[in-house]
Amino acid sequence: MHLSASQITKKFAHRTIVNNVDLTIKVGEVVTIFGPNGAGKTTLIKILSTLLRPTSGKLEFEGIDAFEDYAQVRSKLGIIIHEHLAYPTLTAFENLKFFGQMYGVEQLETCCKTLLTEVGLQRFSHEPLHIFSRGMTQRFMIARALLHCPSILLLDEPFSGLDAAAKQFVQERIAQEQQNGKGILITTHNTDLGYHVGTRFLFMIDGELETVAHKDGISGEALMQKYEERLIKTTP
Amino acid sequence: MAFRQITTLIRKDLRLQFRAKETLALIFVFSILVVLIFAFGFGPQFPETERELGKLAASVLWGASVFAGIITLNRSFALERTHGALHGIRLTGVDAGNVYLSKVVSNVIILLLLEIVITPIALQFFGLFDDVSMGTLLKLLGILSIGTIGFCAVGVLLAGMSTSTSGGESLLSVILLPLVIPIIMAGTKCSVSLLSTSEIEDGSWLVMLIASSVVFLVSAYLLADAVIEE
């Protein structure tokens, strides 16, 4: 299975945020996109998740037009973006149960309890989300994204604002989901973590996507140096 | 699947509203205040004819319901926009029409609860409670219900649009009130008639009330996808 974007462009007023992007995410690979603030990474993730319609271009999942048949495509995607995508006054368990019912997840109560245990939130499962710290929220977001067993995960800045332990947890979870056969897209500024979890690397600069290398073709240091050089070249 | 999703969404909406209680407290206090202000303004010597009293009570009831409705609609979508919960719902692949219908039903339930409480209070304050039979009271609540469905039908759609913009709360009042004039006019006329004569004298107002509510509900349902998905 794969998610395929071709010639995606998104303009807000006269400003081009995402420019002619071609990207394919296959199951079992972790695509990491590095880019500075304002490069268009979040907009691209929102387009890939079908939350935002592009100005032009095509998005397909297994040959299905994602914007024509969004119900079918969305059920195959797990998303983490900067928003919680949940209700702060409901508890973690209530939120998972509600979204599980919406997805039509079977054996829902068991599934919610298992996921909350896996992400280390079992003690807080009956606490409302608004009391959660950034790290706890990120753990909840992972549970929410995995609730319906999606084939593709789209993770926007999954490491931002997390302490070392939480970063370690997210890294391990990404590796585990890759082994489970999911296709994963990550956007990040963090070249170290991005390199560690990724299998294919791209830069996103000023809305344009540039293919860099596969993991076996580049070292972490070389990637970091290349990214810094690319950023310096872009800085006016 | 669609029915189960709608009932799940309605249960979630009601749970959020009853747990936070902010909106409920606000609309109940606001409506009672409206009734009190008019009762003190026109009292203690109220008009002697039942028709005049009926006009006063019906106008106050509809005024309180409409403005409480605007508060409820705004709050209902504000909860969805906070932390991107509406995006979360969209990502489940649910049909936008189902999200719209669930919002209409949950808002109607909350406003009906308000009307059930506020109607006897208003009638008592305007000295009409003893003159109104249980049958007339039920008919009045029926008229309010039909009006509330029409009001929420168009209100949910516009609240979905306005809350995504800056200054959305005031924008909703500006764009909603002119659109629901047929409902307010017909509903008030039917209510005045009921409170004055215990029956609806001119059936054309009732037809207009039902027809506008149905037209609003159907057309808003058809437009829901464009509003929720864009």
**Quick one: closest CA in A to B84, which residue?**
A85
Cβ–Cβ of A86/B85 closer than 8 Å?
yes
pLDDT of B154 reads: 95
A28: left (phi over 0), alpha (psi -120 to 50) or beta: left
Given A74, A84, A89, which is nearest B91 (Cβ)? A74
Model confidence at A198, in pLDDT bands (50, 70, 90)? very high
The answer to whether A121 and B114 are in contact (CB under 8 A) is no
Give CA–CA dist A86/A16, Å, rounded. 30
Structure token pair of residue A172: 């391990």
The answer to whether A212 and A205 are in contact (CB under 8 A) is no
Cβ-Cβ contacts under 8 Å, A72 against chain B: 93
- Over residues A158-178, the mean pLDDT reads 86
Give CA–CA dist A207/A221, Å, rounded. 25
Cβ–Cβ of A74/B85 closer than 8 Å?
no
Mean pLDDT for all residues in chain B:
90
Residue A47 pLDDT > 80, yes or no?
A: yes
- Taking CA A62 as the corner, what is the angle to CA A57 and CA A63, rounded to the nearest 5 degrees? 55
**Quick one: closest CA in A to B18, which residue?**
A89
**Quick one: closest CA in B to A130, which residue?**
B83
Given B5, B84, B90, which is nearest A84 (Cβ)? B84
Determine how β-strand A56-61 pairs with β-strand A64-65.
antiparallel
Type of residue numbered A21 = V
Cβ–Cβ of B83/A104 closer than 8 Å?
no
Give CA–CA dist A138/A4, Å, rounded. 27
Ranges A21-25, A211-215, B192-196: which has the least confidence: A211-215
Q: Write down the pTM of the prediction.
A: 0.89
A199: Cβ contacts below 8 Å, ≥ 6 apart: A29, A30, A31, A178, A214, A215
The owner of tokens 């973006």 is A81
Residue B203's Cβ-count burial label (10 Å; 0-12, 13-18, 19+) is exposed
Of B60, B205, B28, B210, whose CA–CA distance to B126 is shortest?
A: B60
Return the CA Rg of chain B: 18
pLDDT of B213 reads: 95
pLDDT of A235 reads: 64
Structure token pair of residue A37: 């603030």
Q: How far is A72 from chain B (nearest CA, A)?
A: 7
Give domain limits for chain B: 2-229
pLDDT tens digit sequence for B106-127:
999 999 999 999 999 999 888 8
Give CA–CA dist A160/B49, Å, rounded. 70
In chain A, alpha helices (H):
41-48, 70-74, 92-103, 108-118, 134-146, 164-179, 191-197, 220-234
Cβ–Cβ of B88/A144 closer than 8 Å?
yes
Write phi, then psi, for B119 (nearest 5 degrees).
-60, -55
Residue B40 pLDDT > 80, yes or no?
A: yes
Q: How far is A218 from chain B (nearest CA, A)?
A: 35
- How many CA atoms does the CB half-sphere of B229 hold within 13 Å? 23
Cβ–Cβ of A85/B9 closer than 8 Å?
no
Q: Which H or E run includes B75?
A: helix B50-81
Cβ–Cβ of A75/B92 closer than 8 Å?
yes
The owner of tokens 């009570």 is B57
Cβ–Cβ of B87/A90 closer than 8 Å?
no
Cβ–Cβ of A79/B91 closer than 8 Å?
yes
Give CA–CA dist A147/A114, Å, rounded. 10
- Helix B50-81 to helix B22-42 angle (10° resolution) is 160
Residues of B with CB under 8 A from a CB of A: 1, 4-5, 8-9, 12, 15-16, 19-20, 79, 82-85, 87-95, 229-230
Q: How far is B13 from chain A (nearest CA, A)?
A: 10
Given A51, A90, A98, which is nearest B8 (Cβ)? A98
* Inter-chain contacts counted by CB atoms under 8 A, chains A and B: 73
Determine how β-strand A183-188 pairs with β-strand A152-156.
parallel
pLDDT of A1 reads: 65
Cβ–Cβ of B88/A86 closer than 8 Å?
yes
pLDDT tens digit sequence for A83-139:
889 999 999 999 999 999 999 999 999 999 999 998 889 999 999 999 999 889 989
The answer to whether A33 and A41 are in contact (CB under 8 A) is yes
Cβ–Cβ of A85/B91 closer than 8 Å?
yes
Cα dihedral angle (B160, B152, B33, B79), rounded to 10 degrees? -30
Structure token pair of residue B27: 């609309």
Q: How far is A168 from chain B (nearest CA, A)?
A: 25
pLDDT tens digit sequence for B78-104:
888 888 899 999 999 999 999 999 999
First-last CA distance in chain B: 24
Burial A29-38 (b: 16+ CB within 10 A, else e): bbbbbbbbee
Q: Which H or E run includes B105?
A: helix B96-125
